[in-house]
Structures are given as structure tokens and as C-alpha cells.
Amino acid sequence: MTDTFRINVTQPIIVFAGNDTSVVANQPLQLNATVNEPTANQFNWTPATSLNFTTIPNPVATFTADQVGGTITYVVRATNSFGCYGQDTITVKLFKTGTEIFVPSAFTPDGDGRNDVLRPVCVGIRELNYFRVYNRWGELVFSSSEIGRGWDGTIKGQPQPTANFVYIVQGVDYTGKVIFKKGNVMLIR
């Protein structure tokens, strides 16, 4: 004797906790988990360290001065009424400095996966107005206003030789203060 039955397989629950980021002491960090499945609406963030709530999709983390100087990785889990869940992580680097934009003094775009891209490190910065790189003749060779995006050492697809370049960068910190920096950077081949 045989029988047939039907099984419905649901799509996996995909959770996105956000991109890894960095903060300074007393800077509120708005976390925001998104889920592909609206029925997965029971949230749990762990660890609870510095979070105002752990059971909502968008808690705020605020770190005191004695907590900064390392990293913390949060795990967020979204569960539906059937007990199915998805989860993701976000790592937060905790800086001891005040809000700042750091730019390396040199980079080596040689394809080894280390220091291949020149990008500003935005600490406590909520918005990057611009990051621009100029050659020794004052020609703009790279520009971006996207945090995390950087210059790969090429101009119109052509790798540039070892040389000195000038950068300017401006951003707005989490309090609304404008941060501006300029300096030199060495491209090393």
C-alpha cells in the first residue's frame, strides 16, 4: 500500500543586522535588523551589553568610556510563530578617541589583500561629505562620499606608479559637528 502527501517548504529567513561599524564613547548607535519574512517578527539581540532593548529590531547601543577600546559582536535572531529563525551578526569597533576621520599615510595596491585600497576610517562619523585624492599636478584622481569606499590606486583603469598624493576629507559627526582633514599619502608599488 502506498500513499502520497505534500510538503510545503518555506523559504529561509534571511536577517541582515547591518554593516560592521565603529563608534566612540557615548555615541548612540542605532542598530536596525531587517528580515525578508514579515512573519519573523520576534527579535532577540545578544549579548545585551549596552543595548536599550533586546527584543526589538532596532535597539540603540551606547557605550561608556570604560567599555571602549575593543570590539563587540552582536547576534540578532528573528523567529516566526513556527519557531523557524534566521540570524546575523554585526561587529562594532569601540574607539577610545573622540570623533575622527583617520587616513593612512601610505597604501600598497599590489593585490595582496592588505592595504590595497586607500579609504578614510570614519570613527563617530554619521555622514561623509567627500573624500578626494589629487595627484601632484592638482588633478582630481578619486572622489567619493560613501563611507567605506576608497581609491584602488588606478586612474582610468591604469595602475599608478609610486608617488605622493594629496587628500582632503570632510564628514559630519553624530553631534552635527563638521570634521575636515587634509594631508599626504604615499602610493607604494
Domain span at residue 43 reads 15-95
What pLDDT shows up at residue 146?
Answer: 95
Q: What pTM was computed for the model?
A: 0.71
Structurally, the chain folds into a number of domains equal to 2
Are residues 64 and 114 located together in one domain of the fold?
no
- Within-domain flag for 84: yes
CATH code assigned at 158: 2.60.40.1220
Q: What is the CATH number of the domain that holds 61?
A: 2.60.40.10
Q: 62 CB contacts (<8 Å, ≥6 apart)?
A: 26, 27, 28, 29, 50, 52
pLDDT in tens, the chain (189 residues): 888 888 877 789 999 999 998 888 888 999 999 999 999 999 999 999 999 999 999 999 999 888 777 899 999 999 999 999 999 999 999 988 888 999 999 999 988 989 999 999 998 898 999 999 999 999 999 999 999 899 999 998 899 999 999 999 999 998 899 999 999 999 998
Is residue 28 one of the residues assigned to a domain? yes
Question: Which grid coordinates are listed for 132?
Answer: 578626494
The answer to the question of residue 116 being in a domain is yes
> CA 44 from chain center: how many Å?
21
Domain boundary residue, one of 66, 95, 124: 95
Domain boundary among 33, 65, 95: 95
Name the domain boundary from 70, 95, 120.
95
Domain shared by 86 and 109, yes or no:
no
